[in-house]
Chain A
């Protein structure tokens, strides 16, 4: 994949549909995700927002019954094209999951895992990557003295930041976040939110969240999805202060969902 042809939009989604077996989960979505901004996707449970997110790095394909139609372009390249290697796409489009999922290994091994599977073996280089990534995920100071301890000994919020560091270690272009704070307490959530805002300078971030306040606090653009359709997609300020669609207004004012 050639990343030098940088377009203004990282992802261009056109007429995209997705089915789980016979159930259509996503209907005719068209949207463009801007570079180096935070795009939030909100909506009630089951509206297809996580499905859409997981489609962007083709993680959705781990579910065998999924099939799709339409097009998603990443930097002007069709991600469903036959010659597109899914592993290569995922090295450019990283992902942070809902529940912190560090590997049952040391903190160091967790962060070094990505670079290692992509062939980086020199200890010195790995050391640098690990430190840089942990600093990038704002957890270096907390773990620098215990890099060889198992990541499972950390708190949930720390584990999630390790997962973010693990993702940063391969220097992706985009980071997809699937409700990254829903399993965390308010203080850890705050730390992660601050981190996300900092990461915006170097990365494009797409975040799915249940929490409308969170979307309002951190994102530049917000998409509202309902029953698999994209109802409204605009600047966050505008969507929350002056929604165009009645359904968006009902949702953000808490009339349902």
Chain B
């Protein structure tokens, strides 16, 4: 090696893309070479300065979209509420838009019914699965089960919808009497199955984040693994778990395809899960795909219902943020 620098140094430089000129050996110091390479990169300087603006632009796009959606919702809703009074809309108990009755309560109750059934299914199963995964499963088991669980989250909701209608509903029909083919129960159960992975996966993350030293502290006192899970890990991970549940609830509230396919299209003011019902989201699908004329009351009511739905999910998001701050156990 004719390089003026030591052999080892030359090798290092070559690996890093610094070229040592053999003929001009000894006339360059490392600092000189760095300086030279920097001059070549002058254009890079502008690039470096431009990057934050580009990233900011991307961030702003989502903010602007949110504001845009809210604006559209509000504008059309306000037009709707100039035709139908707010009081009639929120306190009326009959939803029959084709006969000009716009009491949204049946739709809200339908949505709440589906959500309640879904949470009753998803909370115990999801939480139990997360406790198993974080506290009992070996690394190998966890590596197999968790991805499968997450595949469940990737199944298109329309597939879930057909599953509810063609499998769960007939199955329940053979157990319960008076079960309608389109009913709240089967749709609710399947929405619950859909949100299990969300609760299980996020709760598992929260529980796995609890330091090992806390578990050891409890085990060292003679606690069983179940006592450690229930009395140390669960309370310490509570904020994350609640946040996952609230997130799952807002997912259930907003769920559209399953309820459209399997819950029916009958705005019923009922808490009987065997009945056919309609949710806020399912009505929006019905209204948006039907032959409703532009600017008619039915057309505008889609926006009012959408706005109501937006308020629901917004409240849930605020609630989840409040809860995760309120119940935070610092460790």
Give A contacts to B, CB under 8 Å: 57, 59, 62, 64, 87-91, 94-95, 97, 99, 101-105, 113-114, 117-118, 150, 152, 163, 166-167, 170
**Identity of the chain A residue whose Cβ is nearest the Cβ of B230 in the assembled complex:** A117
Complex formed: what's the CA distance from A179 to B219 in Å?
Answer: 18
Complex formed: what's the CA distance from A152 to B223 in Å?
Answer: 21
User: A90, B220: Cβ atoms under 8 Å?
Assistant: yes
B residues 298-331 with Cβ under 8 Å of A? 329-331
Which of B68-76, B145-153, B210-218 touches A?
A: B210-218
B17 / chain A contacts, CB cutoff of 8 Å: none
User: B217, A166: Cβ atoms under 8 Å?
Assistant: yes
A101 CB contact (under 8 Å) in B211, B222, B224: B211
User: A59, B236: Cβ atoms under 8 Å?
Assistant: no
B residues 250-281 with Cβ under 8 Å of A? none
B219 / chain A contacts, CB cutoff of 8 Å: 59, 62, 90
Encoded as 1 (CB less than 8 Å from any A CB) or 0, chain B from 121 to 146 comes to: 00000000000000000110000000
User: A59, B220: Cβ atoms under 8 Å?
Assistant: yes
10 contacts across the A-B interface (CB closer than 8 A): A62-B216, A91-B221, A105-B235, A114-B221, A114-B223, A117-B218, A118-B222, A150-B330, A163-B217, A170-B221
A156 CB to closest chain B CB, in angstroms? Answer: 13
- B227 at the binding interface (Cβ < 8 Å): yes
A-B interface pairs (CB < 8 A), number? 71
B200 CB to closest chain A CB, in angstroms? Answer: 22
Complex formed: what's the CA distance from A166 to B219 in Å?
Answer: 12
- B19 at the binding interface (Cβ < 8 Å): no
B53 CB to closest chain A CB, in angstroms? Answer: 42
Complex formed: what's the CA distance from A114 to B224 in Å?
Answer: 11
B227 CB to closest chain A CB, in angstroms? Answer: 5
B38 / chain A contacts, CB cutoff of 8 Å: none
Interface class of chain B by DSSP? helix
User: B213, A103: Cβ atoms under 8 Å?
Assistant: no
Complex formed: what's the CA distance from A101 to B331 in Å?
Answer: 9
Most buried by A among B213, B219, B329, B331: B219
Complex formed: what's the CA distance from A170 to B236 in Å?
Answer: 23
User: A117, B222: Cβ atoms under 8 Å?
Assistant: yes
With A88-B222, A101-B214 already in contact, 12 other A-B pairs whose C-beta atoms are closer than 8 Å: A87-B223, A99-B213, A103-B218, A103-B236, A104-B236, A104-B331, A113-B218, A113-B221, A114-B221, A117-B221, A166-B217, A166-B221
Complex formed: what's the CA distance from A211 to B251 in Å?
Answer: 56
- B232 at the binding interface (Cβ < 8 Å): yes
Give B contacts to A, CB under 8 Å: 138-139, 211, 213-224, 227, 231-232, 235-236, 329-331
A91 / chain B contacts, CB cutoff of 8 Å: 221-222
Complex formed: what's the CA distance from A105 to B138 in Å?
Answer: 28
Complex formed: what's the CA distance from A221 to B325 in Å?
Answer: 50
B232 / chain A contacts, CB cutoff of 8 Å: 103
A89 / chain B contacts, CB cutoff of 8 Å: 222
User: A104, B222: Cβ atoms under 8 Å?
Assistant: no
Most buried by B among A59, A87, A94: A87
A97 CB to closest chain B CB, in angstroms? Answer: 6
B135 CB to closest chain A CB, in angstroms? Answer: 11
Complex formed: what's the CA distance from A104 to B222 in Å?
Answer: 18
Most buried by A among B211, B222, B232: B222
A99 / chain B contacts, CB cutoff of 8 Å: 213
User: B223, A97: Cβ atoms under 8 Å?
Assistant: no
**Identity of the chain B residue whose Cβ is nearest the Cβ of A115 in the assembled complex:** B221
Complex formed: what's the CA distance from A150 to B139 in Å?
Answer: 33
B240 CB to closest chain A CB, in angstroms? Answer: 13
User: A152, B220: Cβ atoms under 8 Å?
Assistant: no
A88 / chain B contacts, CB cutoff of 8 Å: 222
User: A101, B221: Cβ atoms under 8 Å?
Assistant: no
| A97 and B330 in contact, given A90-B221, A113-B221, A117-B222 (Cβ under 8 angstroms) | no
Complex formed: what's the CA distance from A166 to B218 in Å?
Answer: 10
A95 CB contact (under 8 Å) in B211, B215, B220, B331: B220
A170 / chain B contacts, CB cutoff of 8 Å: 221-222
Complex formed: what's the CA distance from A166 to B214 in Å?
Answer: 13
| A117 and B217 in contact, given A64-B138, A104-B330, A152-B331 (Cβ under 8 angstroms) | no
